[in-house]
Amino acid sequence: MEKIICGIQQMGIGVPDVQEIWKWYRKFFGVDVRVFEDAAEAPLMTKYTGGKVHKRTASLALSMQGGGGFEIWQYTSRSTGKSKFEIKLGDYGLYSCRVKSRDVAKSYTYFKENGAKIIGELSKAPNGELSFFCEDPNGNIFNVVDGKGWFKDTKHPSFCGGVAGTLIGVSDMDKSIGLYKDILGYETVVYDKTGTFDDIGGLPEGKGKVRRVLLSHKEARKGPFARLLGPTQIELIQSLDREDRRNIFENRFWGDWGFIHLCFDIQGMDELQKECESKGYPFTVDSSNTFDMGEAGGRFSYIEDFDGTLIEFVETHKVPIMKKIGWYINLKKKKPGKHLPNWILYAMGMNKIKD
């Protein structure tokens, strides 16, 4: 089977309390559909959890507006470790999660009126589009951007949908960019700018000199959930005048406080593994056959980018559509690259959490 990158499935977010922060995410981002909720051990991740098997609970939340989901992840066998230093723009790793908006100016007004912490002001990114940064109650930074490729209009008052990409700090742009352009399929450079920028000036160390590269993909993604996940962009940022750059997860475990991984929904894991290995990004974790998340199943793997940022791949085999009646879809029997019918995707919205 050929390798197919179907889209960003989710951004993993390590939190101290899943239910508390998920309520905030529902209010501001509209990620109110529960795909799964599972409590178990994570035996395959010991490479990133200090050599010990730890217990956790994880919930995958989606917005029917479209966009990737949030995998909201909490340790239950230990406390969730917070960074002991202030994370600054240019540090290495997943710095900010991009969230799509139907109307960025209206989203900005909603966030301000409802007491969200805004960082900086509503401003234009180098591509001329409006965006703004905000901070959740745990201190994680989100970048609300102009959204493309909507699935359904849920009339959410924030005008927001799901994950539209991410901003990643890198140490060497030229060495880092190949993974994202070649393997992950973000072949189009929207902009490649060096200097100081007003739109990021409110972030910690945001007034420094940086190189910014925004990547996108020309072709619409293929695969079962591609219409729902939609198009995404990845921005890589390299600080050019900071000598104190650090890895965001320095001396911490995967699953600790913050953005823990960027996860892609894919098909053709074996082919992807061969490509990753041939280009210097071997799988560091591989569940091999089907893993079971209680309500969902598939095969997952991880690679590290040039700076150790964790990229997850999930080849979904089973997913709940309507759990109340025991309706699950077996994707192993579906033709690679084929979209699921919209009515099946709409049915997933029946798993909505109402506050």
Q: In tens digits, what is the pLDDT along the chain, a chain of 355 residues?
A: 799 999 999 999 999 999 999 999 999 999 999 988 889 999 999 999 999 999 999 999 999 999 999 999 999 999 999 999 999 999 999 999 999 999 999 999 999 999 999 999 999 999 999 999 999 999 999 999 999 999 999 999 999 999 999 999 999 999 999 999 999 999 999 999 999 999 999 999 999 999 999 999 999 999 999 999 999 999 999 999 999 999 999 999 999 999 999 999 999 999 999 999 999 999 999 998 655 545 557 899 999 999 999 999 999 887 767 666 677 787 877 788 999 999 989 988 888 998 8
Q: For position 230, what pLDDT does the model report?
A: 98
CATH number at residue 15: 3.10.180.10
Cα(174)–Cα(98) distance, integer angstroms: 22
The structural domain count of the chain equals 1
Range of the domain at 239: 4-351
- Contact call for residues 138 and 257 (beta carbons, < 8 A): yes
Q: For position 280, what pLDDT does the model report?
A: 97
> Could you tell me the two tokens for 148?
């493309």
**Which residue type, as a one-letter code, is found at position 92?**
Y
